[in-house]
Chains A and B, each alone.
Chain A
Amino acid sequence: MQEAVLENKYVPKPAKIKEYHRESPDNFSITLDIKFKHDPGQFVQISIPGIGESPISICSYSGENLRLNIREVGNVTKALGKMKKGDPVFIRGPYGRGYPMQLLKGNDVVIIGGGCGVAPLRGIIEYIEHHRQDYGKVYLFLGFRSPDDILFKREMDHWKIKYNLNLSVDQLPPGTCFDGKVEFITKLVEATQLTNQNKVVFLCGPPKMMDIASGILMKKGFHEDQIFVSAERLMYCAEGICCHCMIHEKFCCKDGPVFRYDELKGYKND
């Protein structure tokens, strides 16, 4: 038996909300007063004592104030949504394997995101902004349910100028206006003339959208090892032991959440 002291990995660090910004009716971004080094695509466990913990992907750049984009769907996220500037939260992390940005230098980057799946992808965009010379062209395909649900509206104008931005909404409810396409984002991917040459694809969104998008990319000649997906699973421990996030033998919290497409090949949902 080893007698070395093991630290309690469940002890979170206290943090305060520095900035709160509502992105859409059910989505908001918070910036916290803590900073640490991390990779794009990694996540943290954010918690409110008495309510619980929730795994949230990081959408800021490493070393800057931690920023999280959160959709209000569960107990913790709904409680966070009601918080304001200065309120305390608890954080542990960063966890997981992020996007291998170092290895992918020199490539054009295709980013395909759906709904709140855009949050971890924002981390990549931030990364590219800081290392612009290392990457070629950047294509953004971002799809949302409706114009009200569009996230990162503040950043969107900036992205439109700097990158090849394709924005779409699934539906246009009566009384709303939108100057982009009203279509599934996967349709926009299908309609482009993208070839697989010197490209890497980062994909994140609802499971169905990821399936369809990867199918389209394959048809366009992309190889499985050019596509990186970010998977979503229920996670408690984030240390690879609670088993909730298992995708066959892979632990989403340890081996992922970012996987190269061929690593999950044939696994589907079970």
Chain B
Amino acid sequence: MATYTVRKLDLRSLLQKIMQSSELIAPVKTDLVRFQVVEDPHDICLTEQSFYPVKEFIFRKHEVLVSFNGKKVITPVLEPKERVIFGLRRCDLNAIMHQDKALIEVDVNYRAQRQNLTLIGYHCNEAPSQYCFCGTLELKDFYDMMFFDRGDEFIVDVATENGSRIIGKYPEFFRKSNHKVTEADKKIKNADRLFKTDISKLYDHPDWQKGVDKCLSCAACTSLCPTCYCFEIKDEVSIHDTKKVDRVREWSSCQLKGFSRVAGNHVFRDNRKERFKHRIYHQLDYFKKRYGINMCVGCGRCITACPTRIDFVDIINGMK
């Protein structure tokens, strides 16, 4: 739509202004860098990749789907509030798009979280982590506004009405620019680690064992993956009144053994090899077959989080 510049000095004041009218979520440095609701814009950290993705603010860890009071069925009223997320990397933004593909037409709770949400990106010039590999995954432009870091100032690309609204609200911070954002601007250095993106023919390759041998089935990878969205549904009974029941949705993980357990205790993906491969294939093959796009966005968080540091990118690259 249009391009602007923002002085780096002004960024905090701009975010402070945004915070006055809506909730601001951004990567904040605590023990680790994680997305959270910002209390002071000085806490925002843009120098490293966030360890935790933004997922939990959109696809909630624990959410009531429907409630019961005796025989009465109660549908929760969803009132999405005005929220702005700042500091999303290209991978984080694409992850939201990928979750949209699977969930937004089906899940009313997810859709409510996506409403009244403005997405403001912060583009990497260079891969922020040694495990990043977004370069070969054909990520798309998906944002309301994107901030490109250019030393003393940001070049801001505005892509949607939502983005323009921010400009309209706080025009004092934005100066119109003639710069046209090109492919060169969107290039992220040192992020082209994954050479093979088509793994459909490699299912029976013996090299998968290299990863499996080290896998603990701990599910850290899926918990920290910005795209993984599997869940389970369970009933929670109120301890004060057993007639009151919440049917809730909770995150789950395909890496856990019970994930594919059916009645009679049969587990379909009983060993780690099948579960490990299932995750990689869902990310790089199955999702693509269904939605035409890889689920994986190449953020590398699953590798950073892995206690035994299984680098599946290396494993795939090494397959002959």
Contacts and interface: CB of A to CB of B under 8 A. Distances in A.
B304 to A, nearest CB: 23
A71 interface: yes
Contact of A243 (B235, B254, B262): B254
Contacts of B104: 2
Interface string A232-255: 111011011111101111000000
A256 to B, nearest CB: 13
Contact of B114 (A1, A47, A71): A1
Contacts of A232: 262-263
Interface residues of B, number: 52
A51 B230 contact: no
A14 B71 contact: yes
Interface centre among B106, B277, B289 (most CB of A within 10 A): B106
Given A242-B231, A242-B252, A248-B281, A6 B111 contact: yes
A239 B106 contact: yes
A269 B233 contact: no
Contacts, number: 122
A207, A233, A241 interface centre (most CB from chain B within 10 Å): A241
A9 B106 contact: yes
A246 B263 contact: no
A77 B104 CA distance: 31
A213 B73 CA distance: 44
Nearest to A239: B106
A90 B65 CA distance: 15
Contacts of B107: 9, 239, 241
Contacts of B287: 249
A49 B263 contact: no
B230 A249 contact: no
Contact of B73 (A9, A14, A54): A14
Nearest to B106: A239
B320 to A, nearest CB: 22
Contacts of A247: 268
Residue among A2, A88, A249 with most chain B CB within 10 A: A249
Contact of B102 (A2, A51, A241): A241
Chain B at the A interface: mostly helix, strand, loop or mixed? mixed
Interface in B35-70: 65-66, 68
For the residues of A in contact with B, the DSSP-based class is: loop
Contacts of B29: none
B186 interface: no
B240 interface: no
A88 B264 CA distance: 25
A50 B244 CA distance: 8
Looking at B111, B263, B277, the one whose CB has the most chain A CB atoms below 10 A away is B263
Interface in A80-105: 88, 90
A6 B230 contact: no
A54 to B, nearest CB: 8
Nearest to B270: A269
A145 B40 CA distance: 67
Interface in B69-114: 71, 73, 75-76, 102-109, 111, 114
B129 to A, nearest CB: 26
Interface string B165-201: 0000000000000000000000000000000000000
B286 A234 contact: no
A10 interface: yes
A215 interface: no
A249 B290 contact: yes
Contact of A73 (B235, B245, B263): B263
A9 B108 contact: yes
A49 B237 CA distance: 8
**Most chain B C-beta atoms within 10 Å of own C-beta, residue among A8, A47, A71, A207:** A8
Nearest to B238: A50
A53 B233 contact: yes
B268 A269 contact: yes
A50 B102 contact: no
A63 interface: no
A7 B108 contact: yes
A7 to B, nearest CB: 7
B232 A10 contact: no
A269 B270 CA distance: 9
Interface string B258-287: 011111101011100110011001100111
28 contacts: A2-B104, A6-B105, A6-B106, A8-B65, A8-B66, A8-B75, A10-B233, A14-B71, A47-B247, A49-B68, A53-B235, A53-B247, A90-B68, A232-B262, A232-B263, A233-B260, A233-B262, A236-B232, A237-B231, A237-B233, A239-B107, A241-B102, A241-B229, A244-B259, A247-B268, A249-B285, A269-B268, A269-B269
Interface of A: 1-3, 6-12, 14, 47, 49-54, 71, 73-74, 77, 88, 90, 207, 232-234, 236-237, 239-244, 246-249, 269-270
Interface of B: 65-66, 68, 71, 73, 75-76, 102-109, 111, 114-115, 229-235, 237, 242, 245, 247, 252, 254, 259-264, 266, 268-270, 273-274, 277-278, 281-282, 285-287, 289-290
The 4 closest A-B pairs by CB, nearest first: A249-B286, A243-B230, A270-B274, A49-B68
